[in-house]
Structure 1
Amino acid sequence: MPRFAANLSMLYPERPFLERFEAAAADGFDAVEYLFPYEHPAAELAARLRANGLQQVLFNGPPGRWEQGERGLTCLPGREQEFRAGVVEALRYADALGCTRIHMMAGLVPAGASRDQLRPTYVANLRWAAAEAQRSGVKLLIEPINLRDIPGFFLNRQDDAHALVAEIGAANVQVQMDLYHCQIVEGDVAMKIRQYLPTGRVGHFQIAGVPQRHEPDVGEMNYDYLFEVIDELSAQVGWDGWVGCEYRPARGATPGGTSEGLGWLRRWRERSR
């Protein structure tokens, strides 16, 4: 059975962020992920994890000026020092939280620039970051994201992500395979899982229904089948990563709405016994 992590940036929206750890544990999650930890002291987050028996499995590196629309610095020439400072800060949090995966958001393609022009900066930044992260036993993840949710995002396709991982050439740089984004951009999701999971370059999955980004049992994707594919391949190649539940509950911020929408997870747990 895949191991599922609750994404606390999206799930339990009716609760203050720090109360979402307890809610996830009450629903049977063993692990959590979220976008950013930096608004809260690392010691406070670590205490929440310990108190609720949770493992931190993923968060994002600092994205730049998020409120002004920035979505990462990795591909941006002239921002290298800021990028490096963000890596150092992310690794400090990773150490405090016992987290071994950090997603380094690629960033947006500036007006008038091309992806080919930005690629050398992206590769050089990740090579530097990978060397820093290696000393801490941390893996850096890169994620293709669809252009409907984030127009102008630098990285959009699975084949491009895997080509970049090969070019970067660091064993601790892997792909964060978000099946929601993959379906929107490319489709043929099951075959892409079969193509890429055995390579050892997939470090993490994320899921959501398509197109509304609600629960994975809502929309056009057959996640029961995709979970079976992940299970089958995991058994073959020894993959032991996590599947992040990065979706917006269809019931929104209705009290208890996230928990009510977890019927898909309860059914999967039951059939996997």
Structure 2
Amino acid sequence: MIIETSAGRIRLAANLKWMYTELPFEQRFDAAAASGFTGVEFASPYDLPAERIRRLLDQAGLEQALINTPAGPKGSPTAMGAAYVPGASEEFRAGVRSALEYATTLGAPVVHVMAGLRPQDVDPELAFATYVANIGWAAAQARGSGVRVVLEAINKRDQPTYGLRTMETAAAVAEAVDAATVGVLFDVYHAQVDRGNVIERFESLLPWIGHIQIADNPGRGEPGTGEIAYDRVLARIAASDYSGWIGCEYGPVAGTEEGLAWTERITA
């Protein structure tokens, strides 16, 4: 969905994990296209063969904006990713390989490499060193493929033990490893919950930002249901050099279609 604002153009991608949940997953592609979306994202494509998802995208006339690396089994140390977990390097590398294979088939330009939870019985410096080394390995695999790796920090209220603690740390890791291949996933919801100053932080992190996601706070609903000044935030994004997708990673408060009225309120 392309939105023209007074400040410029933005591209919105429907997150099919969060939106159109009243429909079976495979029907959400056509529903998103019918709403005017031209791109979609979702964390985990791995329950379906990549070729099947590719057909669903093509039939609906959609682009795949982003996928995540695989998560481990629920309740396991790698349930939210393996990059931060010492001793899980084989699982991590297998997941990165799988993600890059899917991304290539789907034409996804961005793969979010999930950090995972900080192990409570491991030295924090060892865990962070493991993370940086793993991201370096992932960058080497992605380099030259046309896929950019992005790193996301989750706010400490929702996930107090998530490994990657701040977007600024994500930018520092990207810079240290390979900023051309590794970037930051700038999630406006997490940024606002973490410590606010959303526009200021967006501007300072812009050189490293490889993908953006949005949701309001509190409630993680669509823009306009919380306290974030999305008219200003999206206007600043539109006026910037960022030209990638903005993923709508929110849970519609009153239904997906009804919730899309927010897109009309921000148009010029």
TM-score (norm: length of structure 1): 0.91
Q: Deviations over 1:217-259 (max 9, x none)?
A: 111101011011111122xxxx2111100001112xxxxx201
Decide whether aligned partners of structure 1 residues 184 and 91 sit closer, same or farther in structure 2, where only a CA change above 3 A counts.
Answer: same
**In the alignment, what sits opposite 1:51?**
59
Point out the more displaced range, 173-182 or 160-169.
160-169
Indicate the residue corresponding to 1:254 in structure 2: none
CA distance in 2: counterparts of 1:12 and 1:23, whole angstroms: 7
Q: Once the 2 structures are TM-superposed, how far is the Cα of residue 117 of structure 1 from its aligned partner? A: 2.3
TM-score normalised over the length of structure 2? 0.93
Structure 2 residue 173 is the aligned partner of structure 1 residue 164: yes
2:234 equivalent to 1:227: yes
Match for residue 4 of structure 2? none
Q: Which residue of 2 aligns with 1:73?
A: 82
Pairwise CA distance, 1:2: 1.2
Give 3-state SS (helix, strand or coil) of 1:2's partner: strand
Contact kept, 8 Å, 1:127 with 1:170, in 2: the verdict is no
Structure 1 residue 193 and structure 2 residue 196: aligned? no
Contact 2:18 2:249 in 1 (8 A): yes
When you count helix as a share of all residues, which structure comes out higher? 1
The 1-side partners of 2:144 and 2:239 are apart by 33
Alignment match, 1:126: 135
Equivalent residue for 1:246, pick from 249, 256, 266: 249
Partners of 1:33 and 1:59 within 8 A in 2: yes
Give me the whole-angstrom Cα distance separating, in 1, the residues matched to 2:143 and 2:57: 24
Structure 2: gaps of 5 or more residues: 1-8
The 2-side partners of 1:171 and 1:151 are apart by 30
DSSP-derived class of the 1:137 partner? coil
1:68 and 1:250 map into 2 onto residues whose CA distance is 31
Are 1:35 and 2:33 counterparts?
A: no
Label 1:34 to 1:163 Cα distance change in 2 as closer, same or farther (>3 A): same
List structure 1 segments (4+ residues) > 3 angstroms apart after TM superposition: 66-69
SS in 1 for 2:191: helix
Aligned to 2:217: 210
Counterpart of 1:39 in structure 2: which amino acid?
Answer: D
The residue that corresponds to 1:87 in the other structure is 96
Aligned-pair identity (%): 44
Residue 265 of structure 1: how far off its partner (Å): 1.0
Matches of 2:140 and 2:66 in 1, distance apart? 19
Alpha-carbon deviation of 1:67? 5.6
Query: Shift of residue 115 of structure 1?
Result: 3.5
Moved more, 163-172 or 216-225: 163-172
Using the TM superposition, give the Cα deviation of residue 266 of structure 1 relative to its aligned residue in structure 2, in angstroms.
Answer: 2.5
Query: Aligned residues, how many?
Result: 259
Is the Cα–Cα contact under 8 Å of residues 115 and 154 in structure 1 kept in the other structure? no
Q: CA deviation at 1:68?
A: 4.3
- Contact map agreement 1:216 1:264 (CA 8 A) in 2: yes
Give the RMSD, CA atoms, in angstroms: 1.3
Q: What's the counterpart of residue 260 of structure 1?
A: 258
Hey, what's the Cα distance between the residues in 1 that align with 2:181 and 2:147? 7
Structure 1 segments unaligned to the other structure (5+ residues): 252-256
- 1:165-223 CA-to-partner distances (Å, cap 9, x unmatched) read 122235210000001000001100011112121x2x10011000101000111111010
Matched AA of 1:4: L
1:214·1:249 contact (CA, 8 Å) conserved in 2?
yes
Deviates more, 1:29-38 or 1:64-73: 64-73
